[in-house]
A and B are shown apart, each in its own frame.
Chain A
Amino acid sequence: MHVDARELADGSLIEGDVCIIGAGAAGITIALEWLGNGKQVLLLEGGGFDYEQQMQQLYRGGIVGLPYFPLEAARLHYFGGTTNHWAGFCSTLDPIDFETRDWVPHSGWPIAYEDLAPHYARARELLDLAADEWTSREWERRDPSLRSLALDERVAWTKMWQFSRPTRFGTKYRDAIVKAANVHLYTYANVVELMPNESATAVDALRVRTISGREHRVRARQYVLACSTIQNARLLLASNSRVPAGLGNQNDLVGRYFMEHLEMPSGQLVLTDRRVPDMTMYMFDFGRTKARGEIALSAAMQRENRMLNASVSLTPGTLAGAAKAQSTFQAFPPDSMPSFRRSAPDEQSDAAEFATPPVQDMPRTYDLLTRQEQAPNPRSRVTLMQERDALGMPRAQLDWRLTDLDRSSFRAFYEVLGREMGRAAIGRVRMNDWVLEEGPKWPGSLGGGWHHMGTTRMHPDAKQGVVDVNSRLHGVANVFVAGASVYPTAGCANPTLTLVALSVRLAAWLGSRA
């Protein structure tokens, strides 16, 4: 069922068993998992079914600290959320990503890779990925045209990525949600406050506003906050009528540990073998490639070199091209976002075969783009501004900060990679100048992947995390948080696959208890 909240009488009361706040990848996943489960599921979406400038402006916020994408461009505020313009890059986190690493402060998840692995399978289905296979050997068996470079796996390995078409949740799952008897989708229903009981140990109701000025109440037994990393923190911090610091923020952790993936052009690989190896495994053609490999370093090397996790993609290039490397902030300015949505390959997929494209002449030179996790950093944070949006909500302010470990890991990565490429007689690696430079200053090519993580991190100890192992808000019995905001560490894989898997896990756990 679908209701436009703008058409409800002012002061309406909406009631259900469970309420999901936010209809992006996380919220829609949970709703899909609960289709026909006998519970009355409320799904609240702040926007409508399409992009609207007025709704998007509700996400506008401040940027302090390191430069960043404008917040109103970094997430989409309508049904389907940011899947409406995501690129579809998927890979699993690695087992080491879940471990407590003594050289990475605040690292460690309260769950292991094995706990999440079963849920990756369902996430794979929802994201239309080709197979439940995440090793290069499995992909080599599936497709003989894919051959991994002969690296010593004790040092480096081929990390597999799969590509969603990319699936636009707002398009693909709209009918399933709207036609479901037990799911009640409310569009233009912006939650502006979670209203707790007197002791702030549970939430009694939500305050919902429409852009036209109407205000409603929503009541459910349980609430799932699934508004995206920045908006999750913003909403908890703004829910401060009874708890001045914000709901769930008794230990001043909400909004902290904001993380991005550092996606930066970092170097080049020149193949030196007399016979150029077949590099099809590492090639990518948007909308056509099902899977490709990137090069990552082993857990043992990460431990030995006390570095962060990263993987690197290979794109045919030239030695002269290295100097032209751009920041993603420059390469993808906000005004390019509409074109991202128009070029959604789910509209092209009938025309373009979704298969490994043939590579004609194997080039010798490749540009290396690093995707590196950001070390968890309590000073990298989202806070509230004095300025308010059209609904009266304080706007979010992002203070993105990096650490020395973020910087030193790049050089460590490329030194190890360079040695291994040489030892394996594959080629030589050149690091870009900025990788060699020391000191705290980041280069103009500093860029992120539009990936927002942290801000409501998962930890069993309320003094170290905002949600517990089941994503329940510490100290608040009936509020759960979904999405990448619960990540304690980021890994180097793009967040969508894992956040969908975590949402499947939460839906299963909560669905069995609700």
Chain B
Amino acid sequence: MIEQIGRRRFLQVSALGVAGLLTASCTPGELGSNEVDIAVPQLLPVLGPDVVNDIGRRYRRAYPDESSAPRLRAAIGASHRTTAMIGWTQQSLDEQLLADFAGGRTVVVNGWVLAVTEARQCALYSILHG
């Protein structure tokens, strides 16, 4: 079911283009059984909410054009479009982070060397929970 929805939404998004991503991304609280909430970074249990919030706020200051929940969700989804459409699973998120690091898609925020995806997750977290 999730896959079918994803495929249908992928076609919609393809037709709408990247701009459409800003409005077509899934909303929190509607997760499938294997899905994870991208607004909860994996770093959270390790670094704690204060550090994650701080990273998030700094990221948003550094990249103000991404400083809204829809834009951050879109940017995270755009980084791995197909998976994003079927919802993020723990495995796909892990793979995305590793791919970011391996591909050099990293960003330094307050000294932390982070995958771009997780930095955006922190930013999203700081909007929703900061």
Q: Chain A nearest CB: distance from B43 CB in Å?
A: 7
Q: Does A414 lie within 8 Å of B42, measured CB to CB?
A: no
Q: Chain B nearest CB: distance from A123 CB in Å?
A: 37
Number of interface residues of B (CB under 8 A): 20
Which residues, 77 to 130 on B, are CB-close (under 8 Å) to A?
94, 97-98, 100-102, 104, 106, 108, 110-115
Minimal Cβ-Cβ distance residue in A for B48 = A319
Q: How many angstroms between the C-alpha atoms of A501 and B118 in the bound complex?
A: 48
Provide the residues of chain A in CB contact with B110, threshold 8 Å: 430
Q: How many angstroms between the C-alpha atoms of A430 and B43 in the bound complex?
A: 13
Provide the residues of chain A in CB contact with B111, threshold 8 Å: 267, 430-433, 435-436
Q: Does B106 lie within 8 Å of A418, measured CB to CB?
A: yes
Provide the residues of chain A in CB contact with B94, threshold 8 Å: 425
Q: Chain A nearest CB: distance from B95 CB in Å?
A: 10
A172 within 8 A of B: no
Q: Does A419 lie within 8 Å of B108, measured CB to CB?
A: no
Q: Does B115 lie within 8 Å of A422, measured CB to CB?
A: yes
1/0 contact string of A236-276 vs chain B (CB within 8 Å): 00000000000000000000000000000001001110000
A461 within 8 A of B: no
A364 within 8 A of B: yes
Minimal Cβ-Cβ distance residue in B for A429 = B113
Contact of B101 among A270, A319, A364, A423 (CB under 8 A): A423
Interface SS majority for chain B: mixed
Minimal Cβ-Cβ distance residue in B for A420 = B101
Q: Does A270 lie within 8 Å of B47, measured CB to CB?
A: yes
Contact of A418 among B47, B51, B102, B113 (CB under 8 A): B113
Q: How many angstroms between the C-alpha atoms of A431 and B110 in the bound complex?
A: 8
With A422-B101, A431-B108 known to touch, is A270 a contact of B113 (CB < 8 Å)? Answer: no
A428 within 8 A of B: yes
Q: How many angstroms between the C-alpha atoms of A425 and B114 in the bound complex?
A: 12
Contact of B113 among A271, A428, A432 (CB under 8 A): A428
Q: Does B101 lie within 8 Å of A429, measured CB to CB?
A: no
1/0 contact string of A414-444 vs chain B (CB within 8 Å): 1101111111010011111101100000000
Q: Chain B nearest CB: distance from A180 CB in Å?
A: 56
Minimal Cβ-Cβ distance residue in B for A435 = B111
B1 within 8 A of A: no
Provide the residues of chain A in CB contact with B97, threshold 8 Å: 422, 425
Q: How many angstroms between the C-alpha atoms of A420 and B114 in the bound complex?
A: 11
Q: How many angstroms between the C-alpha atoms of A419 and B110 in the bound complex?
A: 15
With A272-B46, A425-B94 known to touch, is A414 a contact of B113 (CB < 8 Å)? Answer: yes
Q: How many angstroms between the C-alpha atoms of A271 and B94 in the bound complex?
A: 15
With A270-B47, A319-B51, A436-B108 known to touch, is A419 a contact of B42 (CB < 8 Å)? Answer: no
With A419-B101, A425-B94, A425-B98 known to touch, is A430 a contact of B113 (CB < 8 Å)? Answer: yes
Provide the residues of chain A in CB contact with B114, threshold 8 Å: 422, 428
Q: Chain A nearest CB: distance from B101 CB in Å?
A: 4
Provide the residues of chain A in CB contact with B101, threshold 8 Å: 419-420, 422-423
Q: Does A423 lie within 8 Å of B98, measured CB to CB?
A: yes
Interface SS majority for chain A: helix
Q: How many angstroms between the C-alpha atoms of A422 and B108 in the bound complex?
A: 13
Q: Chain B nearest CB: distance from A284 CB in Å?
A: 24
Q: Does B112 lie within 8 Å of A419, measured CB to CB?
A: no
Q: Chain B nearest CB: distance from A310 CB in Å?
A: 16
Q: How many angstroms between the C-alpha atoms of A329 and B101 in the bound complex?
A: 36
Contact of A415 among B47, B98, B108 (CB under 8 A): B108
Q: Chain B nearest CB: distance from A410 CB in Å?
A: 12
Which residues, 15 to 52 on B, are CB-close (under 8 Å) to A?
42-43, 46-47, 51
Q: Chain A nearest CB: distance from B122 CB in Å?
A: 11
Provide the residues of chain B in CB contact with A435, threshold 8 Å: 111
Q: How many angstroms between the C-alpha atoms of A431 and B106 in the bound complex?
A: 14
Q: Chain A nearest CB: distance from B62 CB in Å?
A: 13
With A267-B111, A428-B113, A431-B111 known to touch, is A419 a contact of B47 (CB < 8 Å)? Answer: no
Q: Does A423 lie within 8 Å of B102, measured CB to CB?
A: yes
Q: Chain A nearest CB: distance from B103 CB in Å?
A: 9
Provide the residues of chain A in CB contact with B115, threshold 8 Å: 422
Q: Does A429 lie within 8 Å of B46, measured CB to CB?
A: no
Minimal Cβ-Cβ distance residue in B for A434 = B111
Q: Does B113 lie within 8 Å of A431, measured CB to CB?
A: yes
Q: Chain B nearest CB: distance from A269 CB in Å?
A: 10
Q: How many angstroms between the C-alpha atoms of A415 and B115 in the bound complex?
A: 12
Provide the residues of chain A in CB contact with B98, threshold 8 Å: 422-423, 425
Q: Does B46 lie within 8 Å of A364, measured CB to CB?
A: yes
Most buried by B among A272, A414, A417: A272
Provide the residues of chain A in CB contact with B47, threshold 8 Å: 270, 319, 428
Q: Does A430 lie within 8 Å of B112, measured CB to CB?
A: yes
Q: Chain B nearest CB: distance from A85 CB in Å?
A: 34
Provide the residues of chain B in CB contact with A272, threshold 8 Å: 42-43, 46
Most buried by A among B94, B110, B111: B111
Minimal Cβ-Cβ distance residue in A for B104 = A419
Which residues, 421 to 479 on A, are CB-close (under 8 Å) to B?
421-423, 425, 428-433, 435-436
Q: How many angstroms between the C-alpha atoms of A414 and B111 in the bound complex?
A: 9
Minimal Cβ-Cβ distance residue in B for A411 = B108
Provide the residues of chain A in CB contact with B42, threshold 8 Å: 272
Q: What are 17 residue pairs bridging A and B, where the CB atoms are less than 8 Å apart in the complex?
A: A267-B111, A272-B42, A272-B43, A414-B113, A415-B113, A418-B108, A418-B112, A419-B106, A422-B114, A422-B115, A423-B101, A425-B97, A428-B46, A428-B47, A429-B113, A430-B112, A433-B111
Cβ-closest 7 pairs across A and B = A418-B113, A422-B101, A423-B101, A431-B111, A430-B111, A430-B112, A423-B102
Known: A428-B46, A436-B111. 20 other contacts (CB 8 A): A267-B111, A270-B46, A270-B47, A271-B46, A414-B113, A415-B108, A418-B108, A419-B104, A419-B106, A419-B113, A420-B101, A422-B97, A422-B100, A422-B106, A428-B43, A430-B111, A430-B112, A431-B108, A431-B111, A436-B108
